A = this chain, B = another copy of it.
Amino acid sequence: MRETWVVGAASNRFGKMTESAREAAARVALEALDRAGVEPRQVGYTFVSNAFGLAEHQGHVGPLINTALGIPDVPSCTIESACSSSSAGLHEAFVHVAGGFADVALVVGAEKLSHLDTLTATSYFATGADYAYETRNGATFPGLYATLANAYQHRFQIPAEAFGSVAVKNHANAALNPHAHFQKPITLDTYLRSPVIASPLRLYDCCPFSDGAAAVVVAAKEAVPSPSAEPLVIRASARAGSIVDMHDRPDLLGLPATRAAAEKAFRQAKLAPSQIDFLEVHDCFTIAELLALEDLGFYPRGTAGRATLEGETARDGRRPVNPSGGLKAKGHPVSATGAGQVVEVFEQMNGLAGRRAVARAETALTHNVGATGGSCSVHIFSRR
């Protein structure tokens, strides 16, 4: 297996795009290639994620993006795995490059839903859950994650402030991130006064619908030995699945797919959680960040809330979590989210994170979940 790097990464500002997903995808891809010092002609395969492309009447978007990049002959496909689509695409890129099937592979995620009414947008999101047994019976993602939050609260009696502290932290980080959908801090008081969406989850427990696009350039060390930016060594690229339906799972304290993917990733990287400097985790709801930190092995079950309240995961804490602002405040443009997490790692490791820079950025982990955990991708990166 060849040593495989992320040599470039870029995103637009998440939030509301006036251009189409395909246009935004091509634009961020060019920026990521430019940051890498790699020419489009060097790309051997393109993996696009655009789970809700049909909302723009457009499938088969890979050749359109490649054509915009001037490389129409390069093969491409679209990769979907609900909210973990572009980290699944990153895994395919890693396999192609590490296995010697391509020297350079491009990963692009883009999503646009802001032109739809909220009900229609919600129905697109809901396709990540099980239609026959969940969605058709009225389940939505706030309701499903509220179930996880209730199970967690029931078991550990954590205060509302523990959930709130995740939101306050991530909004504070996003306020320093020019890519973020929400660039304003909130207080715990604001959190506690916000309306309940699905008990116990309040408005500020929930990530927004965002438009956005992000791109990652993956290359073999031997193919791009001197990229323009400091490359990220891909130390692990691991994925796992799980029973989709929450009612069929033996236990609601955590996501089995996260545990399985994390175990594979740490084994592959030959690293332990204690050796990771900072994390970007999938905080579609505040409960999701707490479960992630425990499933990934950073905190014992039931203790991540207290650690967050005590500031351990803050940007200037012991181990920063979601310095970008996370899905919660940077935003969640479904198919761009996984690639966007890598953009944050790239910018942190390249001194491009400005005022949100973490103290130490030698190793990082990204964690991207599909729906309520039917799929999960974990990647671990280090500087050379």
Residues of A within 8 A of B (CB): 1, 20, 51, 53-54, 56-60, 62-64, 66-67, 71-82, 85, 88, 91-92, 95-96, 98-101, 123-124, 126-132, 135-136, 239-245, 248, 256-257, 260-261, 370-371, 374-375
Which single member of B75, B261, B370 contacts A60 (CB below 8 Å)? B370
Chain B residue with Cβ nearest A85: B77
State whether B88 touches A20 (Cβ < 8 A): no
A134 to B50, CA, bound (A): 20
Chain B residues lying within 8 Å of A72, measured Cβ to Cβ, are: 241-244
Copies in the complex: 2
Which single member of B76, B99, B129 contacts A95 (CB below 8 Å)? B99
A179 to B375, CA, bound (A): 33
The list of the 8 closest CB pairs from A to B, nearest first, reads A99-B99, A63-B374, A75-B239, A59-B127, A60-B82, A78-B80, A77-B88, A57-B131
- Write 15 A-B pairs (CB below 8 A) sorted by A numbering: A53-B127, A54-B127, A57-B123, A58-B132, A62-B81, A63-B241, A64-B374, A67-B244, A72-B242, A75-B239, A75-B240, A77-B88, A77-B91, A79-B79, A95-B99
State whether A126 touches B57 (Cβ < 8 A): yes
A130 to B20, CA, bound (A): 13
Given contacts A62-B81, A96-B95, contact A73 B20 (CB under 8 A): no
Chain A contact residues: helix, strand, loop or mixed: mixed
- Which residue of A72, A242, A261 has the most chain B CB atoms within 10 A of its CB atom? A72
State whether A78 touches B81 (Cβ < 8 A): yes
State whether A64 touches B244 (Cβ < 8 A): yes
Which single member of B53, B59, B241 contacts A76 (CB below 8 Å)? B241
Chain B residues lying within 8 Å of A257, measured Cβ to Cβ, are: 73
State whether B59 touches A51 (Cβ < 8 A): yes
**Nearest chain B CB to A268 CB, angstrom units:** 11
State whether A81 touches B60 (Cβ < 8 A): yes
Chain B residues lying within 8 Å of A240, measured Cβ to Cβ, are: 73-75
**Nearest chain B CB to A376 CB, angstrom units:** 8
**Nearest chain B CB to A269 CB, angstrom units:** 16
Given contacts A73-B260, A77-B88, A260-B73, contact A244 B51 (CB under 8 A): no
A380 to B81, CA, bound (A): 29
A241 to B64, CA, bound (A): 10
Chain B residues lying within 8 Å of A66, measured Cβ to Cβ, are: 241
A82 to B126, CA, bound (A): 23
**Nearest chain B CB to A118 CB, angstrom units:** 17
Chain B residue with Cβ nearest A96: B95
A31 to B132, CA, bound (A): 23
Chain B residues lying within 8 Å of A51, measured Cβ to Cβ, are: 59
A77 to B71, CA, bound (A): 25
